[in-house]
Chains A and B, each alone.
Chain A
């Protein structure tokens, strides 16, 4: 019994000490008191209540001291620490009954103390936390409460939360921080309870601010967002989906949440997210109905959700009637941080059926507009610039729902001033889409392009279009079908836009915006075209030139490809080639539509050159086209483009002509029947090293016309393949187009009239002179002896080799004859090809002469020789280089034999030409601008004509009619005027 006397003594000490507490006790006494009370707590749990009461006083004292000077040095609260330790010990190691007791006790004390020492100040949760967590006592209590919460069994949890909330209700708002901190122990439960609590408060007084609830939820949402979302979700689901609520607290859930959203941006965001998620679950596809009330109701939802909302809205408080909350919703939507775009787009989706939604939409957009004009920002505007938002908007631009589309367009335009790149990206993106099926998108594009004036700072369309084109360039480097498809879309869209502008039908596109912009982007387009041309040409040339030229169509290519490659990508390749073809045509179309090069200024020299080159290569490329319709379209397009450029710029003309000729002879010779054997032998040569060559003691003289010394005879020359007449026609047409002049039409040619009457435009002699000069440059291998005068015939021995070379070139490239013929018709120009004619004449003459020596060879195999001779004479007479009667020589040549021909060529042609230098001076201009040689002045001396006359006389039975025509008629006509 005595042993337990000590306990009684402790009790006595305690009982006597505590009542003096308020008078202030010396530290040692209070320490002793605490020690004593702790012993008792362990030994005599009967007195736990009174001890806890005493502890409460101790804590109160500590907090009072702290509150007097929170910034001061931390008081020496050893007592607190001791108490905390032993209480924690009790909770963790003692019987489980302690946890609920201590938790509710600490909550109560926390409530009382916070309330008491806040002294009416209202702090937000963060501040309160900082203040109170500085106090040892508060921290200790909070720690104890949290510890107990952790120890609780599920049964007690609810009680504890109830205590927490009761204390919260009693001590609001000073207890908020505790709820916020402790809410973390049971985030979900606390959050849902707080939400319910708020709802009840809201129902009681719809205008109550719910500061505490909002503060706590906001605080908790930082760490327990998912729980808050879950709680909100449950709340919404309970009201909207699972069961239709018709009783008071539930019916106000939506207005309540709206109210909450209004109070806190964080909550607004969460509520929106939850709602969107909730609706996502319910979405079928697109929805038909909508509720016109909350900003988060804008998502498309299925039938069950919307009607229940509509029904509920009838029962909502007066100030939440749908028509009364537009301003609220507008301001709410402006505050949305995430998913704002999605929300508004959803609203637009359903606006079709709900006039109210349209009002709201309009209100939001107008508000936004004012923001933009005043150069202010708001979260919604920021959200618009996010990547996924803009993606959504772009998608919406293509929507068939007009509200959605227009909203998206307006939003994009509103987002643009603060982030111009969005505008540019939008332009680029919309250009990439295809509008074949749904051309609403094109409308959106036009709207965006044209409405750059609707916003404060004008936006440049150019970067957008440039961006699209750059993507096209990048894409064209990659062999991917989708890239090609996008590229095709871009070009198609540009073409249609330009066409619309041209037609001047659209009220939006009347400022020739696109035309100007695309004109500025010409370098890019040219680049694209050249890239595509280069690759496509390779793609289509090789399978075709290697094999049968006639099996040109896609099916054959495909079968061949699959045979040789055994690759799945073969089909893709074919598609790719087709897509590229279309793209090339489209680029050309753009260039043509824009009438690039039609004006003097605006283009740099580089572009001018590029344009000319591109046009020519497009021309050649299009000749590979096997669809006659497309080909002729393309060719005509080239004609007009060439003509347009060449009329304005001489440089373009020169360049284009050079390109054309080079192409015809070298790069694209195969189109015109030329062989490319030389290339093969060249490649062989490349193998030999320079050292070897030197060791061979080979000088230039070792390379002879008949072959190279050491390599044996050159293989006999292959006859050129037949030149397709339409090819020649196309080519000559292109040359002619280059030589158009604008003498009679003046400068203002850029009209549709111009294109349709291309044939009527006169050509210029200058152009053809250029052609002649170029021909000489390309065909004649020698830089010397290229003058116009014909030297003595003996001199041809010096130029023999070159002459043969020229002759060979003509054989290889039959198009040359066509060219000569063309040039010959534009009279003085032929003079410049004198050297070629001379070389041909010399080679033919020598050949005929050779035949006269070997009598047996005379008639054998002369067809080609006759042919060449005849062509030569034709050209010369066409160019009026030969006066009558020599000009008729080509008609009779086939009746003469080798010796006779050689005499005629020597005596009549060569000698005449030697005497009469072929020079433009000989030609006079008549009133129509055509050049004619003065026939009187050019009349040949008899010694040029007589050999022919003699030969013909000898063969008079055969050549009677010709003789009559050549000699008799002309003399008659000469004599006739004399008689007169």
Chain B
């Protein structure tokens, strides 16, 4: 039997086993029959040259991708599918990640919703800062932004296909760009195309970031992880982009900023009921304030941070975000402490107003 068919076969068995909760051999099956990770054993099952080597060839990877797509397109129970997906890519190693990237990429391009949902679940479970998630995100950005003209177009409608994947993907992306590192060196800004895609997302799907996602459907016994809201990350992009040396197109960030503010305002309208999880984490904002402070001290070495144009722009954006967030009550935790930290930033008129309004 040829590879893809065997993989397909294995997949069905795995599904059955998971459904029947006999999970003893699942991982072995996956390793041996789907990813060909055991060299010695592979000889038993075929004399094809392609199969003699350890791991999958490029074409086999895609054969697997096709098999998986077909598998997920069949109707089925979401819980089991998520479980299968998590088992497949749980202990992610580099070769599996490669397959995963290709799978998710193909799913995005051909709008295979079930896979995307499962992938969203996978990210949420691992957390957006997980190294494998980051890797996946990076690969996807490469595939859809760096190497593709049509990629942004394909990404544009993603939230309508799979909001879960979208929001998790967005959260991952915010971690990749314009973030302060240990060495106080800002990560580079996102590619303009990606920025535009996200701006569109926030504009077109204003509820994407603030609506509560349905509870993860996981097998029994699994602890579902909370979702990480991407809004603080996007705010960070807006605030830090002026002071980052390599970010040039300011208007794109202004658009994003506007979209974020509008989105928050929308939340303010539903003032009656508190959201389940307040979207803005003040710790995330605290990190932004810290970065700004460091940058201000750097500017102070050569000039005056109080009059530095880019610094002022950053501060203004920060003030706007905080003001709207406070008003919409989407800011979590200790607001006074946050305001207190704001005072240590360079002088800015708008920021002063925000601080004063809180003191009152």
Contact = CB atoms under 8 A, between A and B. Distances in A.
Contact of A1 (B50, B65, B161): B161
A48 B147 contact: yes
Given A4-B111, A15-B66, A45 B148 contact: yes
Contacts of B110: 4-5, 7-8, 11, 44
A94 B145 CA distance: 11
B147 A45 contact: yes
Contacts of B4: 15
Contacts of A93: 149
B109 A7 contact: yes
B112 interface: yes
A3 B153 CA distance: 14
Interface stretch (B29-37, B98-106, B181-189, B202-210): B98-106
Given A1-B113, A50-B62, A11 B106 contact: yes
A95 interface: yes
A49 interface: yes
A700 interface: no
A14 interface: yes
A677 to B, nearest CB: 106
A12 B112 CA distance: 14
Nearest to B146: A97
Contacts of B148: 42, 45, 95
A978 B86 CA distance: 178
Interface in A88-106: 93-95, 97-98, 101
A413 B102 CA distance: 79
Nearest to A96: B146
B59 A53 contact: yes
A929 interface: no
16 contacts: A1-B161, A7-B110, A11-B66, A12-B66, A19-B59, A42-B150, A43-B109, A45-B147, A46-B143, A50-B58, A53-B58, A95-B146, A95-B148, A95-B149, A97-B147, A101-B147
B269 to A, nearest CB: 32
A129 interface: no
B150 A49 contact: no
Contact of A15 (B62, B142, B144): B62
Contacts of B144: 45
B217 to A, nearest CB: 21
Tell me the interface secondary structure of chain B in the complex.
helix
B61 A1 contact: no
B69 interface: yes
A8 B106 contact: yes
B151 interface: yes
B106 A44 contact: yes
B147 A15 contact: no
B63 interface: yes
Contacts of B65: 11, 15
B62 A14 contact: yes
Nearest to A57: B59
Main DSSP-derived SS at the A contact region: helix
Instruction: Indicate the member of A1, A7, A46, A93 with the most B CB atoms within 10 Å.
Output: A46
Nearest to B161: A1
A50 B105 contact: no
B149 A44 contact: no
A101 B61 CA distance: 20
Contacts of B66: 8, 11-12, 15
Nearest to B113: A1
Contacts of A44: 105-106, 109-110
Interface string B101-144: 11001100111110000000000000000000000000000111
Q: Pick the 4 closest A-B CB pairs, nearest first.
A: A46-B105, A45-B147, A4-B110, A50-B58
A18 interface: yes
A105 to B, nearest CB: 13
B111 A47 contact: no
Interface residues of B, number: 30
B151 to A, nearest CB: 7
Interface string B55-84: 000110111011001000000000000000
A468 B142 CA distance: 81
A94 B62 CA distance: 24
B59 A45 contact: no
A46 B149 CA distance: 12
Interface residues of A, number: 29
Indicate the member of B4, B62, B106, B154 with the most A CB atoms within 10 Å: B62
Contacts of B61: 50
B113 to A, nearest CB: 7
Contact of B150 (A12, A43, A98): A43
A12 B66 CA distance: 6
A46 B151 CA distance: 10
Nearest to B61: A50
Interface in B246-291: none
B150 A15 contact: no
Contacts of A47: 62, 102, 105-106
Specify which of A3, A8, A48, A54 lies most central, judged by the most chain B CB atoms within 10 Å of its CB: A8
Contacts of A42: 148-150
Interface string A14-48: 11001100000000000000000000001111111
Contact of B111 (A1, A97, A101): A1
Contacts of A14: 62
A18 B105 contact: no
A94 B193 CA distance: 14
Contacts of B69: 8
A624 to B, nearest CB: 93
A104 B144 CA distance: 21
Contacts of A11: 62, 65-66, 106, 110
A30 to B, nearest CB: 15
A42 B62 CA distance: 17
Contacts of A95: 146-149
A14 B149 CA distance: 21
Given A18-B59, A49-B58, A98 B109 contact: no
Contacts of B150: 42-43
Given A15-B65, A49-B58, A95-B149, 19 more contacts: A1-B113, A1-B161, A7-B109, A11-B65, A11-B106, A12-B66, A15-B66, A19-B59, A19-B63, A42-B148, A42-B149, A43-B109, A43-B154, A46-B105, A50-B62, A53-B58, A53-B59, A93-B149, A95-B146
B142 to A, nearest CB: 8
A54 B69 CA distance: 22
B62 A45 contact: no
Contacts of B101: 46
A18 B62 CA distance: 11
Contacts of B147: 45, 48, 94-95, 97-98, 101
Interface in A38-82: 42-50, 53-54
A285 B147 CA distance: 61
A14 B62 CA distance: 9
Given A8-B69, A45-B151, A46-B101, A15 B59 contact: yes
Contacts of B111: 1, 3-4
B58 A45 contact: no
Given A1-B113, A44-B109, A53-B58, A94 B102 contact: no
A8 B144 CA distance: 16
Nearest to A54: B59
B58 A94 contact: no
A275 to B, nearest CB: 45
B100 to A, nearest CB: 11
A98 B143 CA distance: 11
Contact of A50 (B59, B113, B146, B149): B59
Contacts of A12: 66
Nearest to B149: A94
Interface in B78-94: none
A962 to B, nearest CB: 135
A46 B161 contact: no
Interface string A796-819: 000000000000000000000000
Interface string B152-165: 00100000010000
Nearest to B50: A19
